[in-house]
Structure 1
Amino acid sequence: MKHRIQKGALVLAGGAIQGLGMGLFLFPHFIPSGGAGGIAVLFNYLFHINMGPALWMVNFSMLVIAVKYLGKRFALWTIIGITMTSLSIDFFESHFFILNRNLVYDLVIGSVLLGTGIGLLMRQGVSNGGVGVIAFMVALGRDILPGKPLFLINCSIFFLTGAIISWKIILLAFISQWISTTVVDLICRMSFQASYTLDFRKKP
């Protein structure tokens, strides 16, 4: 029970930190936080769907694909994480506003927070949802850290986002992904053998 409470607290914290980086620093500049974030940005740009609900829908649809491979327990914890992220995004977008924004500061701070949140989730064996689920499956299958597959998958989506909205977004998204996935690997490496590899070899 103590382990579950601790894990739940870290999952909620990871989701909230990830949502803080996205909602307060990255999304105001239309910088995709990742593949799912890129699709959510497109939904927001094309259909004016709020970022929080759009991101949740994308994340949930991706998660359904991976339930069979990763197990129901993984899916449940990931749903908790992505729900917390979406609620956090809505909260920070609605209640906080930064005057005199600086693109470079927002890019760096948002990316570090994003990577920290994702790293906390993955250390607990929880994906950040979206294409992170696919990256998680690749990382488990090849017994590697999740940062590299996450980076490659996300960047392919950025080209589509940039083609529709602005090519400037591609450069910003690449920088954001480099920073955030580097942070993800740093955090995952701290307890890679203890929590990342062993927790998910067996489905419940």
Structure 2
Amino acid sequence: MPSRPSPADLAAAAGRVIPDVIAPDLDVLFCGINPGLWSAATGHHFARPGNRFWPALHRGGFTPHQLRPDEQEQLLGYGLGITNLVERGSARADELTSEELVTGGAALEAKVREYRPRCLAVLGTGAYRVAFGDRRAKVGPQPARIGGTPVWVLPNPSGLNAHYSLDALASEFAKLREASLADRGDPRSGDGALGHPKA
């Protein structure tokens, strides 16, 4: 397990960019709002203890076991990836400006058109509404597509999001997985099977 970043490490991580976990033609590209300081300090997405992304991903059926943040590159073997609306790290997502989110939305559109994931899942309703100018957006599938790619909104998995328990988060992740399997005619759709690495 990686060591915990010190307070000095966290302070120095403000504004730092961490690389995407991405490849062409993924099944699902997950998009966070921006890296927290813990993620920026370690170079691993959703790294802060208390963030529920990794357990929700597993409980939702995307991975056969719960990955650690430092195992993020294994996601590519499951047809999954991670990017962010805004690249710079910050202590809280509410430190971002509306302009940053709108600019990030445009950059995300370009990234989706380049990498062509089968589905884009944005993690955070409020950030999605600002970035894409859709004030009525709710958790679930969106009417808009990006270059033919379906778009879903999932709840923000941050531990600061008290509106969703881990069970509720996992349920929303599971709905996305079932839809992504059904969309490509996968026979596992509807049986609750866990994901398996691609050959």
TM above 0.5, yes or no, is: no
The TM-score normalised by the length of structure 2 is: 0.34
Structure with the bigger percentage of helix:
1
Structure with the bigger percentage of strand:
2
The TM-score normalised by the length of structure 1 is: 0.33
